[in-house]
Structure 1
Amino acid sequence: MALLGLQAVLSDAENKQASNQSVSQWLDELRDAVDSAENLTEEINYEALRLKVEGQHQNLTEVSDLNLCLSDDFFLNIKEKLEDTIETLKDLQEQIGLLGLKEHFGSIKQEARTLSTSLVDDSDIFGRQTDIEELIDRLLSEDANGKKLTVVSIVGMGGVGKTTLAKVVYNDEKVKDHFDLKAWFCVSEAYDAFRITKGLLQEIDSFDLKVDDNLNQLQVKLKESLKGKKFLIVLDDVWNDNYNEWDDLRNLFVQGDIGSKIIVTTRKESVALMMVNEQISLDNLSIEVSWSLFKRHAFENMDPMGHPELEEVGKQIAAKCKGLPLALKTLAGMLRSKSEVEGWKRILRSEIWELPHNDILPALMLSYNDLPAHLKRCFSYCAIFPKDYAFRKEQVIHLWIANGLILQEDRIIQDSGNQYFLELRSR
């Protein structure tokens, strides 16, 4: 069947899509065809369920009775859609040879991986001690003119460590003791005053929010909550540089006590300039610090001096990460389970380093390509969640199962889902 042939080359196609436009287009067409097939299945299931319910009211208990209720138009419509989908899949299968895609069969290799947590480890912060101390000093100091509110912007490119710096300072004991209350909210690209206000109130947890609360009611509650309090608020990943919208939002915070602070993390210099007050610009890590960070994660359970070949290649890979902590940690975390130098060299020689970034770091694309096909599908599915969404493991696993993304193999499907989740988290 066409699907078996397509599935056999899926892993190879996903690995090549970043460097081969034809393969990328082929994958897009395959996804569209699979979506069409799934929609067709849902349409048939819906019609069968509808007829079953109607049949119960009409005392039609036999399957043959239900079949008689299906119209010729429905059968003809389904037949045409099915034939079109099968024809598309056959065409895609015929292109496999022209694209040079190779079949891959066999069991899924389980790599030994060290699990990580979402907590920030202070010992894992490299080359940022000066920035940490500077930011803490700014938060603990009060404006000489008695200004109630100060905004500190942390500016830098994606992956340079803005959010990590903010988290370390946010959780610092001196900072905790200095402020009456704290709140953290990830703003992201889609600016929404209602969502921001509600999110901050939920962080502060001082009011019982009602479903029917409108924006004005929420803003009144937030002002009341902050009134007379010395607060620290972090607005993470801000993209919106519309001054009027920012000014409206800032007016919610003027009720606080003297010394209240807002930390804003952003990639955009225009956002930092709009905030006016104070700014910290994060530079990329030096080559020496980059290697120290990479080495900590890639050689977590071994001495790099005992693996000179891996160390030599590792230093070259670390240099390609251009001082970005996110890139360094991502690739190092991926490579720590690979003990063969050839696997490291494949990463070093990859064409992905030379591709336009398009807001996706090459290191992240390399890490994604290293995932087996079944984990790629599960990871991609998580794109339905908004950024910084705190989902539960059981929730995600159930959604994967419901959407047919878990391979059952020889174990309970829930156990397979748990294994998928743990491996993705470890990366």
Structure 2
Amino acid sequence: MGMGLEDLASYVESMLTEMAREKVGLLLGVSSEIQSMENKLRFLKDYFADADRRVIADESVRDWVAQLKQIMYGATDIIDLCQHEAMERGPSATRVVRRFTPLLFCIRNPSVAHDIGSRIKALNQRLDAIMERSAAFNFLSRRDMDHGGEVHTSHPYNFKTSGELDRSDVVGEKIEEATEALVAEIIKTRNEVNNDIAVVAIVGVCGIGKTTLAQKVFNDEAIQGEFDKKIWLSINKHFNKADLLRTAITQAGGDSCPTNDEMDMLVDILADALAGKKVLLVMDDVWYPTAWECVLKKPFFNAAARGSRVLITTRREDVARRMRAQHPCHRVDKLGPEDAWSLMKKQVCNGSKLSFWR
């Protein structure tokens, strides 16, 4: 695999970028499909190094890589199709064709244009399956590899959080102001925004107070009266998809879950529990967009009522972008000296161990 897959992905990415720039997707009616494919490839590229490390010893990873290559070769076939079409039009057509321009040339032929559009949609659907499978491998990102990371189920960041607010963690006026601003953002009226489901992100480094702020929003009085259901999910770096769905089902008041890991069944049960309900979903400590894209997005978008909201906390702004969070994201700043001192006094007086906000 190695550089072969990396180079292949880079070529396909550049092809998709050029298609977007030349408005090819718009002319074919698949602009959103092209953008989606580009985002997925950019996301997957971050894990190629770890996949390369594991491909020799792990047959399932080897099969995953082979399927991904097939999809990308399918994308390059689109260019070959257009080159062939240009050659059949004769030398005059071939002379004006350069790298990506055959795409524009081919959309003049309705049957070829339809074929290209259908291929792009089919490839995008296959990439969805690849994305879903990638979550099971717990691939390390390049950044994790650079820091010598290893996959361990007992990872120190795998602690679970809940929507319950520990008020001993709350100090200062800034968090009150931030809570008020986020609540207002989440419950905007129909006249202020398109009332479709939206994603709102809290971004900041580890220990800065993202979880505490999300808990403040989750328990805010205005939020209680705005949503039919509230769900708090602690995502972490090495989440289990089936467990995540079961937790969501329980908090949504759904029917009892199967004990096996039948993903389709769990997704259907969650969708039934969310059907027609205005929901606030909090996803705490999101490391990668996989938990949303490959697990929760489908039942949430298919079943929850318009006006539902997703609030995420994450250390990485690129995750917020990939989840299409509203811009600008809310950033959590460090405590000022007075607030830090207040937090220390509260923790000592309560007999608690000193700790940073989560």
TM-score (norm 2): 0.48
Structure ID, larger Rg: 1
TM-score (norm 1): 0.41
